[in-house]
Amino acid sequence: MPVYVRSLETAVPPTVLVQSQARDVFAAQPGLTRLGSRLVTTCFDSAAIDRRYTAVAELTLDAHPENPSFFDPDSGQVLSPSTKARNEIFASEATKLFVEAAKSAVAACPGLDLLDITHVITVSCTGFFNPGPDYKVVRALGLDPAVQRYHLGFMGCYAAFPALRAARQFCTADPDAVVLVICVELCSLHVRTSNDPDTIMGSAIFGDGAAAAVVTSREPGPDETVLRLDHFETVLTPVGEEAMAWNIGDEGFEMVLGSYVPHIIEEHITGALEPLLAREKELAGLPYRDIPHWAIHPGGRSILDKVESKLDLTEEQLVPARETLRNYGNMSSATVLFVLKFILAQQPSAREERICSMAFGPGLTVETGLFTRISTQP
């Protein structure tokens, strides 16, 4: 029984971080060594990002809060609030994005009644609160209180795939199931100033965003473009456990993003794709570029460069990932859904087009998905 993403919508907070302005602020922080300052400039300039969005309204030069806790525009200093202070903002601002994205996805799904929704899956690795976002969505949207609720927390950048896979399994088990999946990440809550290269890289590439999808086995109607969820696979690379991690510190969450991560992905990406493509005989052994669309999680510019080169993909096939990175940065779990939305919005060249998708996270974990974009337009 086929299962579809019938709608996929995104949302971002209102405050824009212009990359060049953020670079200048971080490069001028007191306590940076000359090497640290040069690393800031290099990381920000080479990130292939123009702008990002943040739920922290005071993280701009235009904001002038009476009692700044994240950024003092008068002194230009990036401050170090406690993990508790950061998480309190997460509880408030993430809830808004969970609800906004969920409402948009429901509204964009033809013929869907709120009481049709049977499951809610929420995803985030950038904060915690309870009653959690799954509860908040049910209350805010007026869903049936008996809706089954699940929260996937602290998994990292690949977590949208386990959420979609679970949604697919629910729909396969119950043809009447309608699953609402929402990913929200407020990565900017955890930015800090440091001479550490991993911390600098995190400040240079991460942004905030949300994405929500309605997943069901209900057949699409006329004049729709949907995403059929065909197969998922998970692979752990034999190395890289220390190269990518996400830890909780006293002054926010601490990203470990080693410079060797792109090389690990380059070395193991073809092996990670093998079990996925082996699911369909016509794809096994096919040149990778013969699969029309590639939805790659843009963990960073160098990762996309390695993927494009190793798989011999065309520049056009990496446009959805690179444009997402350029306009939003890395929004952890929500990012690959932004990439998939970009592909869904493209003009179809056939009624059915295959999409191969990948996301990377701590472990190193490689999550892969094989999808089909289906256009029912006449």
pLDDT of residue 355: 98
Selected catalytic residue, list 43, 109, 125, 157: 157
* Residue 86: per-residue pLDDT: 96
- Which residue ranges form the domains of the chain, and what is each CATH number? 225-375 (3.40.47.10)
157 noted as active-site residue: yes
Rounded Cα distance, 363 and 64, in Å: 40
Q: Name beta bridge partners: 278.
A: none
Give the type of residue at 155: M
Instruction: Please answer whether residues 324 and 338 qualify as being in contact, where contact means their C-beta atoms are separated by less than 8 angstroms.
Output: yes
Q: What is the mean pLDDT of each run of 10 residues along the chain (378 residues)?
A: 97 97 94 94 97 94 84 90 96 98 97 96 97 98 98 97 98 97 97 90 95 96 93 93 86 82 91 95 92 96 96 98 98 98 92 96 94 86
Provide CB contacts within 8 A for 181, sequence distance 6+. 121, 123, 160, 163, 164, 167, 212, 213, 214, 215
Task: Determine contact, residues 41/23, Cβ cutoff 8 Å.
Answer: yes
- In Å, how far from its chain's centre is CA 174? 28
- Give the pLDDT confidence score for residue 246 in this predicted structure: 87
Q: Is 164 buried (19+), middle (13-18) or exposed (0-12) by CB count in 10 A?
A: buried
At CA 252, angle to CA 247 and CA 254, rounded to 5?
35
